Amino acid sequence: MLRIPFYRAQLCDSGLSYEFVPAHALELALQKIGEELHAQKLFVEIVTPFIVTLRMEDVKMSLYPSGKILVKHVSAKKEAERRFKRLLSALNRCPSLAKL
């Protein structure tokens, strides 16, 4: 299970996106996770071993193998955190992440 306290949020250099970075880098199997998110009826756009991109509430998000999550084109931290928590909830329902 991925837990929020293990992540820290920071505004990207662009000023229009927030990245949520785990305290310790993970090694996520994105192909499998992408399939599991798609099965949850999330709008998954791209799934590769290097990135999963999806849309949630008209906001584009990216997940990386390290566990980093990028919430794009959201300038308010509160809005980015709300979407991050929603994605985290979906990730916690992924069977392949049950042992994290």
Instruction: Specify the pLDDT at position 1.
Output: 63
Instruction: Specify the pLDDT at position 55.
Output: 94
φ, ψ at 91 (rounded to 5°): -65, -35
Residue 71 near residue 17, CB atoms below 8 Å: yes
pLDDT-flagged residues of the chain (< 50): none
Residue 58 near residue 68, CB atoms below 8 Å: no
Give the C-alpha separation, 31 to 16, whole Å. Answer: 27
Instruction: Specify the pLDDT at position 89.
Output: 92
Beta-carbon contacts of residue 8 (< 8 Å; ≥ 6 apart)? 20, 21, 23
Instruction: Specify the pLDDT at position 5.
Output: 60
pLDDT tens digits for range 60-84: 999 999 999 999 988 788 999 999 9
Instruction: Specify the pLDDT at position 3.
Output: 67
